[in-house]
Structure 1
Amino acid sequence: MSVASQQALFYLKKNGVRITPQRCAILSYLLEHMNHPTVEEIYEALKYKLPTISVATIYNNLRLFKEINLVCELTYGDHANRFDANMKEHYHAVCTKCGSLADFSYPSIEKVEKQARDSTGFVIVDHRIEFYGICPRCSSKS
Protein backbone atom coordinates (compact mmCIF):
# COMPACT_ATOMS: atom_id res chain seq x y z
CA MET A 1 0.00 0.00 0.00
CA SER A 2 1.36 3.40 -0.97
CA VAL A 3 2.11 6.16 1.51
CA ALA A 4 -0.70 8.24 -0.03
CA SER A 5 -3.14 5.35 0.52
CA GLN A 6 -2.02 4.95 4.12
CA GLN A 7 -2.46 8.68 4.74
CA ALA A 8 -5.91 8.61 3.15
CA LEU A 9 -6.95 5.63 5.31
CA PHE A 10 -5.71 7.45 8.40
CA TYR A 11 -7.76 10.47 7.32
CA LEU A 12 -10.86 8.27 6.97
CA LYS A 13 -10.36 6.81 10.44
CA LYS A 14 -9.78 10.28 11.90
CA ASN A 15 -13.14 11.33 10.41
CA GLY A 16 -14.92 8.34 11.96
CA VAL A 17 -15.31 6.43 8.70
CA ARG A 18 -15.27 2.64 8.90
CA ILE A 19 -12.61 1.06 6.70
CA THR A 20 -14.05 -1.55 4.33
CA PRO A 21 -12.39 -3.51 1.51
CA GLN A 22 -14.52 -1.60 -1.01
CA ARG A 23 -13.47 1.79 0.38
CA CYS A 24 -9.82 0.75 0.38
CA ALA A 25 -10.03 -0.46 -3.21
CA ILE A 26 -11.83 2.65 -4.50
CA LEU A 27 -9.47 4.97 -2.67
CA SER A 28 -6.37 3.08 -3.82
CA TYR A 29 -7.60 3.14 -7.40
CA LEU A 30 -8.17 6.90 -7.29
CA LEU A 31 -4.74 7.54 -5.78
CA GLU A 32 -2.94 5.24 -8.23
CA HIS A 33 -4.79 6.40 -11.35
CA MET A 34 -4.69 10.16 -11.46
CA ASN A 35 -6.54 10.19 -14.80
CA HIS A 36 -9.77 11.50 -13.24
CA PRO A 37 -11.79 8.31 -13.67
CA THR A 38 -15.56 8.12 -13.96
CA VAL A 39 -17.66 5.88 -11.71
CA GLU A 40 -17.98 3.43 -14.59
CA GLU A 41 -14.20 3.32 -15.12
CA ILE A 42 -13.66 2.64 -11.42
CA TYR A 43 -16.30 -0.09 -11.50
CA GLU A 44 -14.77 -1.76 -14.57
CA ALA A 45 -11.34 -1.73 -12.95
CA LEU A 46 -12.49 -3.14 -9.60
CA LYS A 47 -15.25 -5.63 -10.47
CA TYR A 48 -12.79 -8.50 -11.04
CA LYS A 49 -10.93 -7.86 -7.80
CA LEU A 50 -14.18 -7.37 -5.85
CA PRO A 51 -16.92 -9.31 -7.68
CA THR A 52 -19.62 -8.17 -5.24
CA ILE A 53 -18.93 -4.45 -5.68
CA SER A 54 -21.70 -2.45 -7.34
CA VAL A 55 -21.90 0.87 -9.12
CA ALA A 56 -24.08 2.11 -6.24
CA THR A 57 -21.33 1.21 -3.74
CA ILE A 58 -18.86 3.24 -5.75
CA TYR A 59 -21.24 6.22 -5.96
CA ASN A 60 -21.94 6.08 -2.22
CA ASN A 61 -18.27 5.89 -1.29
CA LEU A 62 -17.32 8.70 -3.66
CA ARG A 63 -20.07 10.85 -2.13
CA LEU A 64 -18.64 10.12 1.32
CA PHE A 65 -15.09 10.91 0.14
CA LYS A 66 -16.38 14.21 -1.30
CA GLU A 67 -18.14 15.13 1.94
CA ILE A 68 -14.91 14.80 3.93
CA ASN A 69 -12.81 16.53 1.23
CA LEU A 70 -10.82 13.48 0.23
CA VAL A 71 -11.77 13.77 -3.46
CA CYS A 72 -13.43 16.33 -5.67
CA GLU A 73 -16.00 15.75 -8.38
CA LEU A 74 -15.43 17.34 -11.76
CA THR A 75 -18.48 17.98 -13.90
CA TYR A 76 -18.24 18.74 -17.60
CA GLY A 77 -21.63 19.19 -19.23
CA ASP A 78 -22.79 16.07 -21.02
CA HIS A 79 -19.66 14.07 -20.18
CA ALA A 80 -19.71 11.71 -17.21
CA ASN A 81 -18.54 13.23 -13.94
CA ARG A 82 -14.94 12.48 -13.04
CA PHE A 83 -13.24 12.19 -9.69
CA ASP A 84 -9.92 13.64 -8.63
CA ALA A 85 -7.98 12.55 -5.55
CA ASN A 86 -5.43 15.34 -5.99
CA MET A 87 -6.72 17.89 -3.51
CA LYS A 88 -3.80 20.28 -3.93
CA GLU A 89 -4.60 23.44 -5.84
CA HIS A 90 -4.27 22.67 -9.53
CA TYR A 91 -6.12 23.17 -12.79
CA HIS A 92 -7.29 21.08 -15.73
CA ALA A 93 -7.02 21.01 -19.49
CA VAL A 94 -9.99 19.24 -21.09
CA CYS A 95 -9.99 17.62 -24.53
CA THR A 96 -13.07 18.72 -26.47
CA LYS A 97 -12.94 15.58 -28.62
CA CYS A 98 -12.47 12.67 -26.20
CA GLY A 99 -13.13 14.35 -22.84
CA SER A 100 -9.76 13.40 -21.33
CA LEU A 101 -8.34 15.61 -18.61
CA ALA A 102 -4.81 16.64 -17.75
CA ASP A 103 -3.64 18.32 -14.56
CA PHE A 104 -1.36 21.32 -14.49
CA SER A 105 -0.18 23.64 -11.77
CA TYR A 106 -0.03 27.39 -11.84
CA PRO A 107 1.11 29.89 -9.22
CA SER A 108 -1.50 31.11 -6.79
CA ILE A 109 -4.12 33.41 -8.25
CA GLU A 110 -4.83 35.42 -5.12
CA LYS A 111 -4.84 38.67 -7.13
CA VAL A 112 -7.53 37.33 -9.46
CA GLU A 113 -9.62 36.18 -6.49
CA LYS A 114 -9.22 39.62 -4.88
CA GLN A 115 -10.30 41.32 -8.10
CA ALA A 116 -13.34 39.00 -8.34
CA ARG A 117 -14.21 39.81 -4.72
CA ASP A 118 -13.72 43.56 -5.18
CA SER A 119 -15.64 43.85 -8.44
CA THR A 120 -18.57 41.59 -7.51
CA GLY A 121 -18.87 41.94 -3.75
CA PHE A 122 -18.92 38.15 -3.51
CA VAL A 123 -17.23 36.31 -0.68
CA ILE A 124 -15.04 34.06 -2.83
CA VAL A 125 -14.84 30.55 -1.36
CA ASP A 126 -13.36 28.63 -4.28
CA HIS A 127 -12.45 28.88 -7.93
CA ARG A 128 -12.11 26.61 -10.94
CA ILE A 129 -10.04 27.34 -14.00
CA GLU A 130 -10.18 25.08 -17.03
CA PHE A 131 -8.69 25.19 -20.46
CA TYR A 132 -10.30 23.45 -23.42
CA GLY A 133 -8.53 22.12 -26.47
CA ILE A 134 -7.51 18.96 -28.26
CA CYS A 135 -5.25 16.47 -26.47
CA PRO A 136 -2.08 15.09 -28.10
CA ARG A 137 -3.71 11.70 -28.77
CA CYS A 138 -6.66 13.25 -30.61
CA SER A 139 -4.36 15.72 -32.42
CA SER A 140 -2.25 12.87 -33.78
CA LYS A 141 -5.38 11.20 -35.22
CA SER A 142 -6.23 14.28 -37.31
Structure 2
Amino acid sequence: MGLATVYRNLRKLHQQGKVRCRHLPTGEALYAPVDRDQHHLTCVSCGTTQTLEQCPIHEMNVQAPETDNFKLIFHTLEFFGLCNRCRPKS
Protein backbone atom coordinates (compact mmCIF):
# COMPACT_ATOMS: atom_id res chain seq x y z
CA MET A 1 0.00 0.00 0.00
CA GLY A 2 1.41 3.39 -0.96
CA LEU A 3 1.58 6.50 1.23
CA ALA A 4 -0.89 8.32 -1.03
CA THR A 5 -3.47 5.61 -0.27
CA VAL A 6 -2.80 5.88 3.48
CA TYR A 7 -3.24 9.67 3.50
CA ARG A 8 -6.31 9.52 1.25
CA ASN A 9 -7.94 7.05 3.67
CA LEU A 10 -6.95 9.14 6.70
CA ARG A 11 -8.57 12.21 5.10
CA LYS A 12 -11.71 10.18 4.41
CA LEU A 13 -11.86 8.88 8.00
CA HIS A 14 -11.34 12.45 9.25
CA GLN A 15 -14.23 13.73 7.09
CA GLN A 16 -16.43 10.94 8.46
CA GLY A 17 -15.58 11.97 12.03
CA LYS A 18 -13.89 8.66 12.86
CA VAL A 19 -10.41 10.10 13.44
CA ARG A 20 -9.16 13.50 14.56
CA CYS A 21 -6.23 15.39 13.09
CA ARG A 22 -3.85 17.70 14.96
CA HIS A 23 -1.40 19.90 13.08
CA LEU A 24 1.83 20.63 14.95
CA PRO A 25 3.83 23.86 14.52
CA THR A 26 6.44 21.76 12.68
CA GLY A 27 3.89 21.01 9.94
CA GLU A 28 3.35 17.39 10.98
CA ALA A 29 -0.18 16.02 11.12
CA LEU A 30 -1.11 13.57 13.88
CA TYR A 31 -4.14 11.33 13.49
CA ALA A 32 -5.90 9.56 16.36
CA PRO A 33 -9.21 7.73 16.81
CA VAL A 34 -12.15 9.70 18.13
CA ASP A 35 -12.78 7.77 21.32
CA ARG A 36 -12.25 10.48 23.94
CA ASP A 37 -11.49 14.17 24.30
CA GLN A 38 -7.85 15.17 24.00
CA HIS A 39 -5.94 18.04 25.61
CA HIS A 40 -2.35 19.07 24.94
CA LEU A 41 0.45 21.50 25.75
CA THR A 42 2.52 22.05 22.59
CA CYS A 43 5.89 23.81 22.33
CA VAL A 44 5.90 26.25 19.40
CA SER A 45 9.69 26.02 19.12
CA CYS A 46 10.47 22.28 19.03
CA GLY A 47 6.96 20.82 18.60
CA THR A 48 7.04 18.53 21.65
CA THR A 49 3.61 17.76 23.02
CA GLN A 50 2.51 16.91 26.54
CA THR A 51 -0.91 15.40 27.20
CA LEU A 52 -3.08 17.04 29.84
CA GLU A 53 -4.92 14.40 31.84
CA GLN A 54 -7.42 16.81 33.42
CA CYS A 55 -9.77 18.82 31.22
CA PRO A 56 -10.28 22.43 32.33
CA ILE A 57 -13.33 22.63 30.05
CA HIS A 58 -15.10 19.88 32.00
CA GLU A 59 -14.44 21.79 35.24
CA MET A 60 -16.10 24.88 33.71
CA ASN A 61 -19.18 22.76 32.96
CA VAL A 62 -19.45 24.02 29.38
CA GLN A 63 -22.55 22.64 27.71
CA ALA A 64 -22.95 22.10 23.98
CA PRO A 65 -25.85 23.94 22.40
CA GLU A 66 -28.89 21.71 22.47
CA THR A 67 -30.24 21.52 18.95
CA ASP A 68 -31.88 18.79 16.93
CA ASN A 69 -29.36 19.07 14.10
CA PHE A 70 -26.08 18.83 16.02
CA LYS A 71 -24.60 16.15 18.26
CA LEU A 72 -21.35 16.88 20.06
CA ILE A 73 -18.96 13.93 19.66
CA PHE A 74 -15.67 15.21 21.10
CA HIS A 75 -13.60 18.32 21.69
CA THR A 76 -9.93 19.16 21.58
CA LEU A 77 -8.03 21.71 23.62
CA GLU A 78 -4.47 22.75 22.88
CA PHE A 79 -2.27 25.31 24.60
CA PHE A 80 0.80 26.66 22.80
CA GLY A 81 3.93 27.93 24.54
CA LEU A 82 7.58 27.10 25.20
CA CYS A 83 8.79 23.94 26.94
CA ASN A 84 11.53 24.01 29.60
CA ARG A 85 14.24 23.19 27.03
CA CYS A 86 13.23 26.01 24.67
CA ARG A 87 12.33 28.67 27.23
CA PRO A 88 15.12 31.24 27.75
CA LYS A 89 16.88 30.80 31.08
CA SER A 90 16.81 33.86 33.32
Fold shared, TM-score > 0.5 on shorter chain: yes
Amino acid at match of 1:109: H
Q: What is the rounded CA distance, in whole Å, between the counterparts of 1:137 and 1:85 in structure 2?
A: 30
CA RMSD of aligned residues (A): 3.6
Give the fraction of aligned pairs with identical amino acids, expressed as a percent: 25
| Structure with the larger helix share | 1
Stretches of structure 1 lacking an aligned partner (at least 5 in a row) = 1-52, 118-122
Aligned to 2:32: 84
Conserved 8 A contact 1:96-1:134:
yes
Higher RCO, Cα 8 Å, sep 6+: 2
Q: Which has the higher strand share?
A: 2
CA contact (8 A) 1:91 1:130 kept: yes
Deviations 1:73-120 (A, max 9, x none): 013567232222473222011111022222222146164423x85xxx
For structure 2, which runs of at least 5 residues remain unmatched after alignment? none
Could you tell me whether the CA contact under 8 Å between 2:39 and 2:76 is conserved in 1? Answer: yes
**Relative to structure 2, which stretch is displaced further, 88-97 or 57-66?**
57-66
One of 81, 93, 98 as aligned partner of 2:46: 98
Aligned length: 83
Structure whose alpha-carbon radius of gyration is higher = 1
CA displacement, residues 38-75 of structure 1 (integer Å, 9 cap, x when unaligned): xxxxxxxxxxxxxxx43211212212433251x21013
